[in-house]
Amino acid sequence: MSCQPELVTGYVDGALAVDERERIAAHLRDCAECRAQADQERMIRARLRELPPPEPRPGLENDLRAGLRRRRPGRLRVLLPLAAAALAIAVLWLRGSPAAVARVVVFDHVKCFRHERPPAHIFSHDASEVGSWFGNQGTSMPQFPARIAGLVLEGARYCPLLDGTSVAHVYYRDSHRHVSLFVIPRALRLETELTTNAFGRSVRLLGREDQTLAVVGESGDDVDKLSAALLTRSASVVR
């Protein structure tokens, strides 16, 4: 067998498989040169093993520990996800809360009627035209009047509310009064209806199966009348 010095290294380190180990052992008995290599490698190994390690400076361990501590997930990284979860729960709760929804729709009512002409997507005095415009976009509308208490249907649009919901918003107005009908595509925690005030506006919330109707106006009387019209099935024929 010819010399295989790398396998001699493996032999010295006890890293060879049994058959190879036996082969190299047999070779070493015959080969003085490989025997010398094995002896020298053993000697080098022994000397290296005895070599005292370079000593670190005394403060290094503390520095390393401090370095790790700086990388520890801080309070914020633990608290932020908790805060986000709490906020999400709060938003969900608010989305079902009549009082919160009343405020959100009043805010939108004020915002839309702040303009000389409300920012409708469809301008029409025809209730069935507005109703089918919403129907074409997948929103089932209640039957609503074209005129109520001297107010005229002006138009409608989808409004993004502050809570992220997109709702149908129908505008009624005359020269100085404004009434909004909102169709919110979800039920609230509501018995059947709720009348309240928010930001100086009167609000009526009417619960339906999977919708909530919200009527908003400056005058409680106007809100009452539109709400009554919505509740009576004859509302659509009032023109």
Which DSSP helix (H) or strand (E) runs through 95? Answer: helix 75-95
Q: How many amino acids of this chain bind other proteins (CB under 8 A)?
A: 35
Among 138, 140, 152, which Cα is nearest to 238's? 152
Residue 44 or 187: the one with the smaller Cβ distance to other proteins is 44
55 lies in the binding site for other proteins (CB under 8 A): yes
Q: Which two three-digit tokens encode residue 86?
A: 């709490």
**What is the closest distance, in whole angstroms, from the C-beta atom of residue 49 to other proteins in the complex?**
6
Residue 28 or 146: the one with the smaller Cβ distance to other proteins is 28
Q: Considering only residues 18, 32, 48, 82, which one is a binding residue for other proteins as defined by CB under 8 A?
A: 48
Pairwise CA distance, residues 24 & 41, whole Å = 15
**8 Å CB contact between 141 and 182:** no
5 lies in the binding site for other proteins (CB under 8 A): yes
75 lies in the binding site for other proteins (CB under 8 A): no
15 lies in the binding site for other proteins (CB under 8 A): yes
18 lies in the binding site for other proteins (CB under 8 A): no
Helix axes 5-12, 32-50, angle to 10 degrees: 50
**What is the closest distance, in whole angstroms, from the C-beta atom of residue 69 to other proteins in the complex?**
7
Pairwise CA distance, residues 226 & 150, whole Å = 11
Which DSSP helix (H) or strand (E) runs through 67? Answer: helix 60-70
**What is the closest distance, in whole angstroms, from the C-beta atom of residue 88 to other proteins in the complex?**
21
Q: Considering only residues 29, 30, 49, 76, which one is a binding residue for other proteins as defined by CB under 8 A?
A: 49
Strands (E) located in the chain:
122-123, 147-148, 151-160, 166-173, 178-184, 193-198, 201-207, 212-217
78 lies in the binding site for other proteins (CB under 8 A): yes
Q: Considering only residues 25, 26, 45, 237, which one is a binding residue for other proteins as defined by CB under 8 A?
A: 45
Pairwise CA distance, residues 141 & 63, whole Å = 69
Segment near other proteins (CB under 8 A); pick from 69-77, 141-149, 181-189, 219-227: 69-77
Pairwise CA distance, residues 239 & 223, whole Å = 17
Pairwise CA distance, residues 128 & 135, whole Å = 10
10 lies in the binding site for other proteins (CB under 8 A): yes
Residue 68 or 176: the one with the smaller Cβ distance to other proteins is 68
Residue 56 or 160: the one with the smaller Cβ distance to other proteins is 56
**What is the closest distance, in whole angstroms, from the C-beta atom of residue 20 to other proteins in the complex?**
11
| Chain positions contacting other proteins, by CB under 8 A | 5-10, 13, 15, 40-41, 44-45, 47-57, 60-61, 63-65, 67-69, 71-73, 78
